[in-house]
Chains A and B, each alone.
Chain A
Amino acid sequence: MSDADKLGFTPNEMMTIAASRALKSDDVCFVGIGAPSAACNVARLTHAPDITLIYESGTIGTAPDVLPLSIGDGELCETAVTTVAVPEMFRYWLQGGRISIGFLGAAQLDKFGNINTTVIGDYARPKTRLPGGGGAPEIATSSRQVYITMAQSKRGMVEKIDFFTSFGHGEGGDHRKRLGIDTAGPTLLITDLAIWKPDPVTKEFTVVSLHPGVSREQVQETCGWVVKFAEALDETPAPTELELKTLRDLQARTKATHQGTAKGKAA
């Protein structure tokens, strides 16, 4: 019997649900694709029905019935309050300071919330060329706060990232301020094992809450830097029935929809 069977939920489900709880109905959230998208929509379907979800394709106030595969799926536009052109999205809405939360995923992350989604290895001669930043470099600096969500692994959570795609707290401390960035930057990291917040002074991510059944050792074993734990460590409340059902229904609808287009496909 696995841990997930005993608990009644998987670590990934706990991650998505813990991330969804961080969002409020009055948030205006710029949604990154993948894990952030699931969390944002679970929030909208449970405790934050009035949240404004924005995808970088220009869809503002969208309410998709299934999770989009891309940031520009048709349903995002069909259910949005309005759809604007991409330059307007980045100039007026993001740069203009309208976004309260930028919600990002990460391929590589360091303890100061700096994100790499560009290359593994050297930029000019990469070992692995990743997709790159897309909207993230400016989401990370123009959103009032940044939330990050990713599953823990030693490959993903590293002492030193290979490329600064999106600036978090840099070398820590007041590094953002020194670069003229006046937004708060990463204020929350939700992984499949724990909830992390930056130390108020050093800005290093510190574990403040362990998910149910997770030990300190597990968190350290799946992280590439020496983990700091808060003195008063909480336990993340387990997912409620409603949260789990909402997430699972959403994922089932999503799977059925995206596979549905395969029928009779040419070539």
Chain B
Amino acid sequence: MVKFLPLKEAVAENLHDGDTVAFEGFTHLIPTAAAHEAIRQGFHDLTLIRMTPDLIYDQMIGMGMARKVVFSYVGNPGVGLLRRARDAIENGFPRAIEVEEHSHAGMANAYEAGAAGLPCAVFRGYRGAGLASVNPNIKSVSCPFTGEVLAAVPAIRPDVTFIHAQKADRKGNVLVEGIIGIQKEAVLAAKRAVVTVEEVVDNFDDLHPNLTVLPNWTIAAISVVPGGSHPSYTHGYYERDNAAYLEWDEIAADRDRFQAWMHKNVIESSAEDFAGRVEHLRKAA
């Protein structure tokens, strides 16, 4: 059953060296606070899974925590490249990392297969695509009814998935709304799930019946971290800090500047600092 825990304990209890872990969020609701807590606790040899790795995986890769990264878009959305990830892939700095690359369709189908308890996902994809020849986990199957050749990829089953969401009720049910991305699938595909939320409300009695609610028994731990997705955003709470994404391009371009930034803003910082970072991004009520 779900436990409400301070973020430090939620991460320590659920993440271990060598784990396969997904910190999911498709531009929206990126679990930055949870990733920063993982960086502070200094885990090693992680296999990082995410469709759009963006800043938090750039940071974890730059801090040398990743052994392997599984992704479908290794960019800073709307800005350009991820410079710490590039340094690792191109130069093996600070350590060489293994790469398993897919398309979005491939990853989305693989998460869905994980949530559905299937060994693999089958879809129409990768036709003529170079990825099929460099990634041995992209194979094909023939439809037993029509003979059509379809792509197959193994299901994604993380040891632990971290997501950020709008709110939990007192029982620990979690609401995710807006651009919901792949979060539901990533939670249901994982052995354990940890959710950071903006707030806890008494109950969900007033919710529309078709909203995405993750029942409390699908989640291991919830931590309340207002602002916990900054510089990403939380629909209904605060906007995306686009300027921070633009600034990250300069910070990550230089190894020393990156380290200095990480020490000031992550290592010597805490989950409580996130609320202040989104203050200017909250819409006037």
User: Does A163 count as interface, using CB distance less than 8 angstroms?
Assistant: yes
- With A33-B77, A86-B104 in contact, do A123 and B90 touch (Cβ < 8 Å)? no
Instruction: How many A-B residue pairs have C-beta atoms within 8 angstroms? Tell me.
Output: 205
Judge whether A267 and B109 touch: CB under 8 Å: no
By a CB distance below 8 angstroms, the chain A residues around B247 are 265
Query: How far apart are A182's CB and chain B's nearest CB, in angstroms?
Result: 10
- The CA of A241 and the CA of B92, in the complex, are separated in Å by 52
- Residue from A33, A77, A86 with most neighbouring chain B CB atoms (10 Å): A86
Q: Which residues of B contact A135 (CB under 8 A)?
A: 103-105
Q: Is the CB of A74 within 8 A of B130?
A: no
- Decide if A181 is an interface residue (CB 8 Å cutoff): yes
Known contacts: A76-B179, A180-B127. The answer to whether A262 contacts B243 by CB under 8 A is yes
Q: How far is the CB of B204 from chain A (nearest CB, A)?
A: 19
Taking CB atoms, residues of chain B closer than 8 Å to A136 are 103
* Complex CA–CA separation, A90 to B81 (angstroms): 24
CA distance A125 to B96 in the complex (A): 11
8 contacts between A and B (CB under 8 A): A57-B26, A72-B26, A74-B179, A74-B239, A83-B178, A128-B90, A133-B72, A267-B261
Tally of chain B residues near chain A (CB < 8 A) = 69
What is the distance, in angstroms, from B36's C-beta to the closest C-beta of chain A? 12
Q: Which of B76, B101, B103, B178: most chain A CB closer than 10 A?
A: B103
Name which residue of chain B comes closest to A96, CB basis.
Answer: B124
Across the interface, name the chain A residue whose C-beta is closest to B28. A72
| A133 and B181 within 8 A (CB) | no
> Given the known A-B contacts A142-B124, A165-B129, are A57 and B74 also in contact in the complex, defined by CB atoms under 8 Å?
no
- Please give me the 4 A-B residue pairs with the lowest Cβ-Cβ distance, nearest first: A72-B27, A131-B75, A167-B128, A70-B77
Interface positions, chain A 146-185, Cβ under 8 Å from B, are 163-167, 170, 175-176, 179-181
Interface mask (A46-78 → B, CB under 8 Å = 1, otherwise 0)? 000000000011110000000011111110110
A74 touches B180 (CB 8 A): no
| Among listed B165-173, B214-222, B274-282, interface-contacting one | B274-282
Q: A residues touching B (Cβ–Cβ < 8 Å)?
A: 33-34, 56-59, 68-74, 76-77, 83, 85-87, 89-91, 94-95, 118, 123-138, 141-142, 163-167, 170, 175-176, 179-181, 257-259, 261-267
A90 and B104 contacting across the interface, CB-CB below 8 Å = yes
- Does A263 contact B131, Cβ atoms closer than 8 Å? no
Indicate the member of A57, A70, A89, A170 with the most B CB atoms within 10 Å.
Answer: A70
Task: Give A181 to B127 CA distance when docked, in angstroms.
Answer: 7
A261/B124 contact (C-beta < 8 A), A33-B78, A87-B185, A133-B72 known = no
A-side contacts of B240, CB under 8 Å:
69-70, 73-74, 261
User: B274 to chain A: closest CB distance in Å?
Assistant: 9
Q: Mark B209-242, 1 if CB is under 8 A from A, else 0.
A: 0001000000000000000000001010001111
- A90 (CB) vs chain B CBs: closest residue: B105
- B41 — which chain A residues lie within 8 A by C-beta? none
Query: Of residues 147 to 186 in B, which have CB atoms within 8 Å of A's CB atoms?
Result: 148-149, 178-182, 184-185
